[in-house]
Amino acid sequence: MADRIWRDNRGVLSFEECADSGDADLRTFAKSLDASYEFVDLRVPKLGDGFSWGGYGNRFVVKRFGDKRIFANQKKSRWQKFKDALK
């Protein structure tokens, strides 16, 4: 099951999907960040739902929307990854 989550990353939502969403929580969270983030809504998870946080690299940024199970992972550009490697 963990392999499938890592491989497929089902349920990942783009910044645009969330910023234009009819769901007030998703919209508010997205608008508090920028387009470099992808979102995962785990408020009502089903068996097998999740996200592969390790796939974002060793210096990834993950944020949570308060106490709700909505997460945002920053998808860094190659340039951002290069700058992180120099730190």
pLDDT at 20: 97
Helix and strand numbers (H, E) in the chain are 4, 4
Average pLDDT, the chain: 80
Q: Would residue 57 be called left, alpha or beta, if left means φ above 0 and alpha means ψ between -120 and 50 degrees?
A: left
Q: Strands of 37-41's sheet, edge to edge?
A: 12-13, 37-41, 70-74, 62-64
Q: How many CA atoms lie within 13 A of 25 on its CB side?
A: 14
- Tens of pLDDT, residue by residue over 52-73, are 665 555 667 789 999 999 999 8
Kindly give the parts of the chain with pLDDT less than 70.
1-10, 52-59, 76-85, 87
* Structure token digits, residue 81: 């990854």
pLDDT at 7: 53
pLDDT at 6: 47
Tell me the torsion sign for CA atoms 4, 44, 22, 35: negative
pTM for the predicted model, two decimal places: 0.74
pLDDT at 50: 72
